[in-house]
Amino acid sequence: MESIASNLAAIREQIASACRKAGRRDDEVTLIAVSKTKSAAAIREAWDAGQRVFGESYVQEFLEKQQDPLLSSLPLSWHFIGHLQSNKVRQVAGKVAMVHGIDKVSTAEELSRRAVQHDLQIDYLLEVNVSRESSKYGLDPSSLIQAAEECFLMPNITLRGLMTIAAPDPDQARREFAELREALEKLRCAAPEPASLTELSMGMSQDFEEAILEGATMIRIGTAIFGWR
Ligand SMILES: *Cc1c(COP(=O)(O)O)cnc(C)c1O
């Protein structure tokens, strides 16, 4: 098996080349290394290879890793990318740079409530189910604007953009990424502060090049860095 360091180097090359193809600068795309199910030692290896931003999906596992002695003293930037249930919100509030998977107005409400309670400002993304697969989380694209309008009014949380998980087929994925980009453009027109809506979290190991071509600002890569789960 390739090492985490060499996997990271290869991914960074591919990101740079996709950015060139898209006519974008490679600092426009943040690589989130998705470390769910992987050990603190593996995360440490990625850190030693220069990776700074990590994504976790499961609350308990995330909290354990954050406190692991191998990692607890490092200024890692954690993103919570999993589906976040309302009753788990208080456990991640204040511990992550961004919450990606908010797909209900009621969960945003809880995030806001906890942010106010602890005097925090929390950045988050709304998850959109662009592939409209019933097995997936995410707001239906047709209800996005209405949901976001409610979210804009909530104190101490800032909507920074949109997140999605695309269909497995790369061509279809690319169309879905384009749809998410268009959804963000529409949302900006409805937003009281459009300038804060800058993020498109889309693209994983199988489809991050397509995502970069469609404007991804954050790609979430697990398998291609850490190996199979
Ligand atoms: C697991 C996961 C990823 C990473 O997927 P890979 O295919 O391993 O790159 C990205 N985003 C989310 C939301 C995930 O749950």
**pTM score, whole prediction:** 0.97
Q: Please tell me if the CB atom of residue 34 comes closer than 6 angstroms to any atom of ligand 1.
A: yes
Q: How confident is the model at residue 164 (pLDDT cuts 50, 70, 90)?
A: very high
> What CATH fold (topology level) applies to the domain 4-226?
TIM Barrel (3.20.20)
* Cα separation, 116 vs 218, whole angstroms: 27
**Mean pLDDT of all residues in the chain?**
97
What one-character DSSP code corresponds to residue 76?
Answer: P
**Identity of residue 32:** I
Residue of 201, 204, 225 with the most ligand 1 atoms within 8 Å of its CB, for mutation: 204
- Main-chain phi, psi angles of 30, to 5 degrees: -95, 130
Check if 216 has its Cβ closer than 6 Å to any atom of ligand 1: no
- Encoded tokens for 124: 């988050």
pLDDT band for position 132 (cuts 50, 70, 90):
confident
Tens of pLDDT, residue by residue over 203-217, are 999 999 999 999 999
Instruction: At 75, list the tokens.
Output: 């200024």
Q: Is 164 in the pocket of ligand 1 (CB under 6 A)?
A: no
| CA of residue 38 to ligand 1 center, whole Å | 12
pLDDT for 24: 98
57 pocket-lining for ligand 1 (C-beta < 6 Å): yes
**For 143-162, what is each residue's pLDDT tens digit?**
999 999 999 999 999 999 99
Q: What distance in Å separates the CA atoms of residue 210 and residue 223, rounded to the nearest whole number?
A: 17
Span 24-32, mean pLDDT? 97
Residue 134 — very low, low, confident or very high, per pLDDT cuts 50/70/90? confident
Q: Is the pLDDT of residue 135 over 90?
A: no
The sign of the CA dihedral 121, 100, 209, 16 is positive
CA of 46 to the centre of ligand 1 (A): 16
* Mean pLDDT, range 31-53, rounded to an integer: 98
Tokens matching residue 2: 């390739």
- Give the phi and the psi of residue 97 in degrees, each rounded to 5: -75, -30
Shortest CA distance to 222 belongs to which of 16, 54, 97, 49?
A: 54
With the most atoms of ligand 1 within 8 angstroms of its CB, the residue from 30, 53, 54, 57 to mutate is 57
pLDDT tens track for 177-199: 999 999 999 999 999 999 999 99
Provide the pLDDT for residue 1: 56
**Dist CA 130 CA 177 (whole Å):** 8
